[in-house]
Amino acid sequence: MKIAIVCYPTFGGSGVVATELGLELAHRGHEIHFITYSQPVRLALLNPRVFYHEVNVPEYPLFHYQPYELALSSKLVDMVKLYKIELLHVHYAIPHAYAGYMAKQMLKDEGIHIPMVTTLHGTDITLVGNHPHYKPAVSFSINKSDIVTSVSQSLKDETYKLFNITKEIEVIPNFIELKNAKIKEGEPCYRSLMAHDSEMIITHISNFRKVKRIPDIIKIFHLIQQQIPAKLMMVGDGPEKEKAESLCEELGIANKVIFFGNSHEIDKILCFSDLFLLPSETESFGLAALEAMACSVPVISSNTGGLPEVNSEGFSGYLSNVGDIESMAKNAIKILANPATLATFKKNALEVAEQFDLAKILPLYEAVYQKALANNLIEETE
């Protein structure tokens, strides 16, 4: 198949999922065209079946905000015609499904019928999409998609709750490529660079937005380190980072917390981690938690959104109510205090992660693509 993938090219979960999916599809013989405004951060172009097409948005004094959807839909039309692309897979309802629908209509006028699969990731539904100014466009974009998928049952339920959706939504969970997540046997894990042998290493990875409840992470760690010698690795960047650094100073734990910023070495950081913290206000899935579990790192998280579908209570980690810092700290100590308990949770975390291996999830997407193409063929012949 010749597939166009439209996604955000950033460090966020949807961009990572879309990129990893496209690369694996290429390895399986499909021709993949990434179409977005800059090269996705995890995109390796050393594959003859992987292409990247940049969307350029011309600047005109007439526009206060440059019309990205217009530029994207036009680019999609051009690339479909030039490369004979057979299917669009857009990640996020707006602006991508909205632009994809416009491209479909323009192509239809030229006698080209192309199906569109839309994958919902979370903030396009729960945050941006639910805004009154965008709600009609989101509903329209979803209902006009040929097939719609969501990354969790929780997100599917939330979509039906918030919008007037007439399309069936299929749940295809996010995934991890386990063969890339594990540190290769014999490869050194430089734990000693981060902490003493007597210290536990606790990690958080995110875009440091308010929804991640970054102050909670600092406060949870503050309680943990009062009973167990530990270091905290804070990986990522965003608007809450400066406040987090100030809070560490206030609590007197700045020397126990390392802020990395954005990193391309997540696997190496998780390699020497003992516990992962994700106390988010909401998570449509919890990809960061899954990445940790794939590296045998148990997770302490909130019980919101799709997290209970990823983090198995009392097995791969523990779930607590949003904002319950004391409960999260208590559960963390329960795991870390006993080496045998920690070893069991580490083994269990990997066992759960294996259920989300890309090798198991990718065929679900291929089946959706085949279904979309078959339905499109029927519509063309009617």
Pick the residue with more confidence: 186 or 251?
A: 251
- 70: tokens are 């217009």
Higher pLDDT residue, 49 or 262? Answer: 49
φ, ψ of residue 187 in degrees (nearest 5): -75, 130
Please give the model's pTM, rounded to 2 decimal places.
Answer: 0.89
**Residue 84: pLDDT over 70:** yes
Starting at the edge strand found earlier in the chain, the sheet holding 116-120 runs: 50-54, 31-36, 2-6, 87-91, 116-120, 147-150, 169-171
Q: What's the average model confidence in pLDDT over 183-191?
A: 60
Q: How far is Cα 300 from Cα 61, in angstroms, rounded to an integer?
A: 50
pLDDT of residue 310: 97
Residue 131 pLDDT grade (very low, low, confident, very high; cuts 50, 70, 90): low
Residue 118, phi then psi, degrees to nearest 5:
-115, 125
Highest mean pLDDT among 167-181, 262-276, 301-315: 301-315
Residue 41, pLDDT score: 65
Alpha-helical (H) ranges within the chain are: 13-27, 68-83, 98-108, 123-126, 135-144, 153-162, 178-181, 214-225, 241-251, 266-271, 287-294, 307-310, 325-336, 339-353, 358-381
Decide if pLDDT at 11 tops 70. Answer: no
CA distance readout (Å), 5 to 9, 11, 181, 214, 344: 11, 16, 23, 32, 39
Q: Using an 8 Å Cβ cutoff, are 263 and 237 in contact?
A: no
User: What is the distance between the alpha carbons of residues 216 and 285, in angstroms, rounded to a whole number?
Assistant: 19
Tell how many helices (H) and how many strands (E) occur in the chain: 15, 13
Give residue-wise pLDDT tens across range 18-77. Answer: 989 999 999 999 999 999 988 876 676 668 899 999 998 877 666 656 688 899 999 999
The predicted structure's pLDDT at residue 63:
60
Q: Taking a C-beta distance cutoff of 8 angstroms, is the pair 75, 96 a contact?
A: no
